[in-house]
Amino acid sequence: MLRMWDDFPKITAPSDEESVVSIERLTLLRPDDWHLHLRDGAALAAVLPDTARRFARAIVMPNLVPPITTVALAAGYRDRILAALPNNPHFTPLMTLYLTERTSPADIAAARTSGFVHAVKYYPAGATTHSDAGARSLDRCEAVLAAMEAHDLPLLVHGEVTDPTVDVFDRERTFIERELAATVAKFPRLRVVFEHITTRDAVEFVERAPATVAATITAHHLLLNRNALFTGGIRPHHYCLPVLKREVHRQALLRAATSGSPKFFLGTDSAPHARHTKEVACGCAGIYTAHAAIELYAEAFDEVDKLDRLEGFASCFGADFYRLPRNTAVLTLVRTTQRVPAELPFGDDCLVPLRADGEIAWSIAD
Ligand code: NCD
Ligand code: ZN
């Protein structure tokens, strides 16, 4: 599947004993983003072109205020997304419903018949941005989970406990122990995506789980460890949930993403927030990466010399898991440095993207 043309191979490591031929140009089936926050209104219009320029499809998170809890709300949101991209017929938003304790089996049946709702997202109440309406636990949603299993509609989980006595860096591991393992065991045919995994524990859980369980991995968790939160001072633009973890976890994520296992695929979790809501005494969680998402993943895969594994991760395994056709169009990346602006427009505000005022080693070929 992979088409990689190192048409101009370049010898790049004269200091090593062995010369390394570096890949200068990489053509992939067009990728999809399996976890994305698009917001609404002027914010939606500001960020959507970044994603549509790179990705054919995206799983759109339902954590608006109020949340997208019904097929009717998802239909309206989908129309607003399509209306915000009048000149791009090539991007397809894949909608999700927000699981609450009032979600019913009938909502699940309606989602399945809609043809445009592809999953249901569980935010443990209070776990992250706009999660107040979430269910308190998966135990409280068993009839709905059974309906999802029967209708073969995937469950997407924000995998962190909200118990304030649990250390914030342990909340993902504790979620596996307290909730996820039991749900996977109880609903053996339910497809589950463990979203934006951040720990070696999550990697190992997904590897050992049945084929019904997969995970998305963000670019920022592949590129940064928790030191990035404190480099020379506190860095609010590196704060997201789940929070960045130790280097040992970043290494485990890199191994998983580049392993070729179809259980791990691309989900940016690009989560835009206005600058003033992050540079404040109590700042919002979320990192914006949509402006250069696939280029950032290319950097991460390049770091471990696994660019040949990027296409499976970015363009194939997610579509297979969601039982959607793989894209047929392609996207070409080139090893050309791009400069990232210090800020980007965001409706009446601005946002600070990842690598703001810095450089990314890859670009999209025009
Ligand atoms: C997301 C957001 O801002 O909507 N924030 C984040 O830090 N990832 C919510 C989420 O996915 O947790
Ligand atoms: Zn998210």
CA of 242 to the centre of ligand 2 (A): 9
> 129 CB less than 6 Å from ligand 1?
yes
What is the identity of the amino acid at 169?
Answer: F
Distance CA 155, CA 97 (A): 10
Number of domains observed in the structure of the chain = 1
> 37 CB less than 6 Å from ligand 1?
yes
Within a domain: 112: yes
> 216 CB less than 6 Å from ligand 1?
no
- Find out whether 250 and 303 touch, Cβ atoms under 8 Å: no
CA of 37 to the centre of ligand 2 (A): 6
Distance CA 197, CA 202 (A): 6
- Give residue 1's pLDDT: 42
Give the ligand at the shortest distance from the Cα of 239. Answer: 1
- Residues, CB-to-ion distance under 5 Å, ligand 2: 269
Of 39, 156, 241, best ligand 1 pocket probe by most atoms within 8 Å of the beta carbon: 241
Within a domain: 121: yes
- Find out whether 215 and 263 touch, Cβ atoms under 8 Å: yes
Distance CA 44, CA 82 (A): 10
Nearest alpha-carbon partner for 198 in 250, 131, 146, 273? 250
Distance CA 197, CA 155 (A): 15
- Give residue 89's pLDDT: 77
Enumerate residues 6+ apart whose C-beta is below 8 A from 70: 97, 107, 110
Distance CA 57, CA 271 (A): 17
Tens-level pLDDT at each residue, the chain (366 residues): 444 444 444 444 445 555 567 899 999 999 999 999 999 999 999 999 999 999 999 999 999 999 999 999 999 999 999 999 988 778 999 999 999 999 999 999 999 999 999 999 999 998 888 888 899 999 999 999 999 999 999 999 999 999 999 999 999 999 999 999 999 999 999 999 999 999 999 999 999 999 999 999 999 999 999 999 999 999 999 999 999 999 999 999 999 999 999 999 999 999 999 999 999 999 999 999 999 999 999 999 999 999 999 999 999 999 999 999 999 999 999 999 999 999 999 999 999 999 999 999 999 997
> 351 CB less than 6 Å from ligand 1?
no
Within a domain: 287: yes
- Find out whether 331 and 30 touch, Cβ atoms under 8 Å: yes
> 241 CB less than 6 Å from ligand 1?
yes
Within a domain: 48: yes
- Give residue 8's pLDDT: 40
Shortest-distance atom of ligand 1 to CA 35:
11
- Find out whether 354 and 237 touch, Cβ atoms under 8 Å: yes
> 74 CB less than 6 Å from ligand 1?
no
Give the ligand at the shortest distance from the Cα of 96. Answer: 2
DSSP track, 111-135: HHHHSSEEEEEE--TTSSTT-TTS-
Measured by CA distance, the residue closest to atom 11 of ligand 1 is: 269
> 286 CB less than 6 Å from ligand 1?
yes
Give the ligand at the shortest distance from the Cα of 238. Answer: 1
- Find out whether 74 and 37 touch, Cβ atoms under 8 Å: no
Within a domain: 9: no
CA of 314 to the centre of ligand 1 (A): 20
Shortest-distance atom of ligand 1 to CA 37:
4
- Output the six-digit token pair for 364: 């999209």
Flag whether the pTM goes above 0.75.
yes
**Helix or strand or coil: residue 207?**
helix
Within a domain: 104: yes
Catalytic residues, which ones?
269
- Find out whether 286 and 39 touch, Cβ atoms under 8 Å: no
> 263 CB less than 6 Å from ligand 1?
no
What percent of the chain is helix, strand and coil (3-state, nearest 5)?
Answer: 35, 15, 45
Shortest-distance atom of ligand 1 to CA 241:
7
CA of 115 to the centre of ligand 2 (A): 23
Domain that holds residue 124: 23-364
**Helix or strand or coil: residue 231?**
coil
Give the ligand at the shortest distance from the Cα of 237. Answer: 1
The helix or strand, by DSSP H or E, that contains position 215, with its residue range, turns out to be: strand 213-217
- What is the bridge-based pairing of β-strands 25-29 and 330-334? antiparallel
Within a domain: 2: no
- Give residue 18's pLDDT: 52
CATH number of the domain residue 164 falls in: 3.20.20.140
